[in-house]
Structure 1
Amino acid sequence: MSSTTEAGKAGIPGVHLTGDQIIQETTLQYLKALQDAWGIPGVSLAIVRMNEDKQWDKQTIGMGRKDVDGDRVTEQTLFSIASNSKLFTAISTGLVLSESNSSWDTPVQEVIPSFQLMDKEAEERATFIELLSHQTGLPRHGLSYDTDITPEDVVKSLAYLKPSAPFKSCYQYTNLTYVAASLLPKQILGQQLEEFVKKNIWDPLGMTQSYYDIELARSTGNLSSGFARKLSVGQSGVYDVERCKEDIKQARGKLSEEGRGLEDSLGWPVQQLAGPGGVITCAKDLTIWLQTLLLKGRHPEMQNQIIPSWIIEDTIKPQVLIKAKPDDPEISSKMYGLGQEIYTYRGHQVIDHPGRAPGQKSFVIRLPDKMIGVAVMCNDDEFGDMFNEVAKWRIIDDLLGLDPIDFKTRKLNKFLEGKKPKAKADQPCQHPLQNGFGSVPGVYHNAAYGDLKLRSLSSTHQDNTSLQGPNWSFVADVNKAFVKEFLFEHFDKDIFNVTAKLTFPETGAVMWDMIGQGIQARFGEGGMGLQHIWGAGGGVSDGNMERDGIKNGSEVFFTKIS
């Protein structure tokens, strides 16, 4: 039976239900209690299941509020699904390649001549398989680009980015290769990726509330806002780990406001580049998308083939090992396909992918053998990703008829253990900078990262940061997608610790060290080297300037030009 239930009428205030009743009432109560316990502002769920009559059961669930005005989350509330956009890019790549008599195994440079890499073997040999399965040798290099430059400019910069591993030696997740793939529709058909996806996927499926354009999404009035946490000193992206641990002991996982931090609105966080993370969508459209994926590209109602089945099947062929040792005993080793992760959960095949943007988190997961699909979205930064993971497994356990596993306690304890502050020397520097602080200010250039203008940090500027304690000496405007400023604190000799700061223009909220925890700078050899910044994959070593010198050992080297 299909219906729409307004908030509160199901006996659970703040919950908005649409469609069939798929999950049990106890599961719904659990999810709502978890949302309240962790202070998640808004949650949106899409659930589909093919029943015994080969008909689709569909349910959407909205919990909480989408923005600072308190507007509730419904099936039409729009969230960024961030890296869940990669599957649309991978599928579009397959469609365009098939139209041009090319294949996944076609070398990228044959079709996109502007694709050039520092590693010439990778440049010549990389096919679309390696490009879309993160095997080019490039790490994240997430601070090398901004979102207001063109994909073409991002791809031109790849030739100047250091690889962190040899070609096809390992899996290293990066958005950059999906930016490269996003050029394919324009290169072959003269269409932007956004236009191609809308024309060939969204419109035929009736996904009328999915967008790449933030202003179009905003004009609907359904756009959600992202939220983070702050403490009394005004820091965002922080919480009291020890207080959270005490809350767990005293209240079975319910986190106090003092522990989890005060709510801080980010507004709409960051306009993502289309290829790796640009899709904005809602639970209503994701029910259509989940059904289409489970039907291997067929329209869930009309039954006509929208996406060739071979493309869907190729995206879930394992290409590279992500992680040999799973985090949980119920989960197998994970493999990566093309924009999809592949593994098993309690003996069942799982296809999924996370999506992570500031204040916007998502999971899109399906179990093909059981014809089950679930999408979870929320607008909380610190606890949102963990909430989504706990929620998806609770729902999957329910749909499989299995006793639920207590992922809540397991994940929260592990999360907080991983948030122990890193050791940092509080004592004054033992050795001064060889040429003095006056030698540091100036303009530093890297062909991919651009210019950094380092200047002395005035007391006024330091007061405006609303952080007390660090002895910052210099500041550099970065103006990239995920960082706006670098703040430099002298550690010893030519070494500085670097704090990354991101300011959100809509609200003025600030987040610290989102990317590149523990960035370190060293000055010498005609410039500045950075390490712990490129975001290498698991098991891949960071640069070592102590051993290899500043220029050769750095992950990114900036030449001082003035």
Structure 2
Amino acid sequence: MRNTSHASPLKERQFESLVQKTLNRWHVPGMAIAMVDGDHTWAEGYGLASLPSTPVTPSTLFYGGSTTKAFTAAMLAKVTEDPATKIRWDTPISQLLPGDFALSDRCTGNQITVEDALSHRTGLPGHDHASSRTSVRENVRQLAHLPLTAKLRTRYQYNNLMYVAASHIIEAATGQWLGDCLARSFWQPLGMTGTYFSLKDAQAAPETLARGYYYSGHGGDKDGIYHEVDWMPLEEVSGAGSIITNVLDYAKWVHTLLRPQIFVEKNIFQSPETFHQLWEPRTLIPAAAPFTGPRAYALGWITECYMGFQIYEHTGSMNAFGAQLLLVPELEFGVIILANTPKTSNYAAQLLAFHLLDERLGIPKPQRFDWDRRNWAVIEKEKQWVADKIDYRPPVVLPLSLPLEKYVGTYTHAGYKDITIYLGSEGVLRADRKDVTWPESINFKHVTGDHFLMVSTHIEDFGAFCPDVYDAEFRISVEGKAWSVGIAWERAMGGEMIWFVKI
């Protein structure tokens, strides 16, 4: 039920205890939470923004990750209101970015609209390994070389690079950097003075920017420790995930989303209909407990039914940060959570956000969904899959075609750029990808013949729990030289490989 006492539910002893227990369980150093309920907003900080002793406060800055996508979609909605731009949701992107936007299937590429790109139904899977530390325009141009795995508008496949393309559209239409567009169109009218679109601006801000960490002891190591992670540069991520903000500012954003007439009152949108288009379901997402009925991706938002209420949510995950937004328009209720570890903070935030919603709805504790159990099951399944790949031994182990040093060299792919393979001091093939958005360090484990398993250590997704593994295969020319390497970097391709040619 609605809190009528005006006392902060975030400071109740039981909730503070739950937060600390959750941070300890998931090994998250610090977290900030804000809750909006009607006219009331509460915000608190818990734990540490940076070790050993800097506390989190409501003004502490965190990376917002993919919660940025809602702003990118909103900015495009604003652009569609301007007749001079000639941009509509059904406008083909190839018409807006001639010479820059194309897909490996030209027919599909010519049909993809702005709406398709923002609702993850283009047929292009994630291809996150293809995102490199280059310009927005260059990352968009790489799309032409990435394989599709579905027909247009037939399957939900989350794709960050399409939101980078959306950034390019906005910047081409307005002639301005997306960060300036968002500040002028949204953040300034809403009084969001602690929100930034570049690492440089966030570092220079008066607010404290939290440090990101990953924890090394999730595998059962009793001596696990926190490792500080360098702040991630954001230029190439752009509208897919560049926002750095605090829960106070995001509470202002959520309050406006829950009362969309404010958009019109502040001359952000010309019509309430412009806002409602953002929450209109576009692409079906596979159903999952505890949600009932179909789930869908709108434009920068996931919408689903929970306990009889339509909710809107989105998470964000960067190299060492996590974010969670959860809104229930019917109740004018919203939760914002920002924290400073990769993936694990998403699990912690999900549990706490839905706990606050369950409290608001008055759901009896025995009827509440066990988020920890579900998320640990997901982790254990991934760990087992990785272990099975690493432990696999083929019935017959064939020798290498060449001495190991003959596989060394730089291999290139038009979409995935370069991978340089070298012989490590321990006598195994290695590769370090440092100039990509999601850096990784790779060991090649010989399987049989010219087949290897790439074992990758990194700090995002499940990297705190287990490495990533990818099948790899070298091709040998008739002259007896390694001339290409295939890597199964994209799971949605079902084992098909991305082929790199030796330079």
TM-score (norm 1): 0.79
Residues 400 and 143 of structure 1, relative CA distance in 2, 3 Å threshold: same
CA distance in 2, matches of 1:297, 1:446: 48
1:486 aligns with 2:486: no
Q: Distance in 1 between matches of 2:7 and 2:292?
A: 29
5+ residue gaps, structure 2, are: 1-5, 478-482
CA distance in 1, matches of 2:123, 2:90: 17
What is the aligned partner in structure 2 of residue 143 from structure 1? 129
Cα distance in structure 1, aligned partners of 2:169 and 2:321: 28
The residue aligned with 2:428 is 472
Task: Give the conservation status (yes or no) of the 8 Å contact 1:96–1:184.
Answer: no
The answer for the alignment partner of 1:462 in structure 2 is none
**In 1, distance between residues paired with 2:185 and 2:466?**
35
> Are residues 386 and 426 of structure 1, via their aligned partners in 2, closer, same or farther at CA, if it must alter by over 3 Å?
same
What is the aligned counterpart of 1:364 among 296, 302, 325? 325
- Counting matched residue pairs gives 480
Distance apart, 1:491 and its partner CA = 1.1
Unaligned runs of 5+ in 1: 1-18, 51-55, 232-238, 244-256, 460-470, 505-510, 545-553
CA contact (8 A) 1:22 1:57 kept: no
Distance 1:182 1:215, change over 3 A: same
Q: CA deviation at 1:518?
A: 2.1
Shift of 1:358: 1.9
- SS state at 1:311 partner: helix
Structure 1 residues 438, 266: closer, same or farther in 2, change over 3 A?
closer
Which residue in 1 is equivalent to 2:244? 280
Q: Cα distance, 1:453 vs. partner? A: 2.3
- Gap change, CA 1:290 and 1:396, over 3 Å in 2: same
What are the Cα deviations for residues 5-42 of structure 1, in whole angstroms up to 9, with x where unaligned?
xxxxxxxxxxxxxx952458233432233223443210
- Contact preservation (8 Å) 1:517, 1:532: no
Shift of the alpha carbon at 1:489? 1.8
Match of 2:272 in 1: 309
Contact 1:20 1:57 in 2 (8 A): no
The separation in 2 between residues aligned to 1:121 and 1:387, in whole angstroms, is 43
Q: Give the Cα separation in 1 of the matches to 2:60 and 2:200.
A: 15
CA distance in 2, matches of 1:122, 1:183: 19
Structure 1 residue 269: Cα displacement: 4.1
The Cα of 1:258 is off from its aligned counterpart by 1.8
In structure 1, what residue type is equivalent to 2:30? G
- Check the 8 A contact 2:321/2:339 in 1, yes or no: yes
- The separation in 2 between residues aligned to 1:223 and 1:476, in whole angstroms, is 28
- Structure-1 residue corresponding to 2:191: 206
User: Cα 1:304–1:473, aligned 2, differ >3 Å: closer, same or farther?
Assistant: closer
1:163, distance to aligned residue in structure 2 (A) = 1.2
> 1:56-113 CA deviation, whole Å, 9 max, x = no partner?
1000011011002421111110011100000111111121232123310111111121
Which one-letter code corresponds to 2:239 in the other structure?
G
**Aligned residue in 2 for 1:422:** 387
1:94 aligns with: 77
Give the Cα–Cα distance (whole angstroms) in 1 for the partners of residues 147 and 465 of structure 2: 21
Q: Which residue of 1 aligns with 2:453?
A: 497
Q: What CA distance in whole angstroms lies between the structure 2 residues aligned with 1:153 and 1:503?
A: 25
Aligned 1:92-171 pairs, distance under 5 A: 92-99=75-82, 100-113=85-98, 114-147=100-133, 149-171=134-156
2:32 alignment partner AA: S
Q: What's the counterpart of residue 53 of structure 1? A: none
SS at match of 1:258: coil
1:215–1:277 Cα change, 3 Å: same
CA contact (8 A) 1:151 1:179 kept: yes
Q: 2:489 maps to what in 1? A: 533
Residues 297, 195 of structure 1: CA spacing in aligned structure 2 closer, same or farther, 3 A cutoff? farther
Secondary structure at the aligned position of 1:205 is classed as: coil
1:126-275 counterparts in 2 under 5 A? 126-147=112-133, 149-219=134-204, 220-231=206-217, 239-240=218-219, 243=220, 258=222, 261-271=224-234, 273-275=237-239
2:413 pairs with 1:446: yes
Amino acid at match of 2:408: P
Q: Report if aligned partners of 2:421, 2:430 keep a CA contact under 8 Å in 1.
A: yes
Letter in 2 for 1:542: G
The aligned amino acid for 1:316 is W
Matched-pair contact (CA < 8 Å) for 1:330–1:345: yes
Confirm or deny: 8 A CA contact 2:119 2:282 kept in the other structure. yes
Whether contact under 8 Å (2:194, 2:207) holds in the other structure is: no
Match of 1:36 among 20, 24, 35: 24
- Residue 262 and residue 496 in structure 1: after superposition, are their counterparts in 2 closer, same or farther (change >3 A)? same
Q: CA deviation at 1:439?
A: 3.1
Paired with 2:242 and 2:281, the residues of 1 have a C-alpha distance of 25
Matched, 1:402 2:363: yes
Contact kept? 1:452, 1:478, Cα under 8 Å: no
Please give the secondary structure, in 1, of the residue aligned with 2:180.
helix
> What per-residue deviation string (whole Å, max 9, x for no partner) do you get for residues 283-309 of structure 1?
11011000111112616xx94342342
Maintained 8 Å contact 1:205/1:306? no
Determine if contact 2:10/2:44 at 8 Å carries over to the other structure: no
CA distance in 2, matches of 1:20, 1:535: 48
Q: 1:458 to 1:516 in 2, by over 3 A?
A: closer
Q: Deviations over 1:333-360 (max 9, x none)?
A: 3211111101011111010011011221
Query: SS state of the match for residue 185, structure 2?
Result: helix
Mapped to 1, the partners of 2:500 and 2:211 lie a distance apart of 36
After TM superposition, give the deviation of residue 264 of structure 1 in Å.
1.7
Q: Which residue is 1:253 aligned to?
A: none
How far off is 1:223 after superposition?
0.3
Query: 2:452, 2:259 → 1: CA distance?
Result: 54
**Residue matched to 1:437:** 404
CA 1:422–1:353: 2 relative to 1, 3 Å: same
Residue identity in the other structure for 1:432:
P
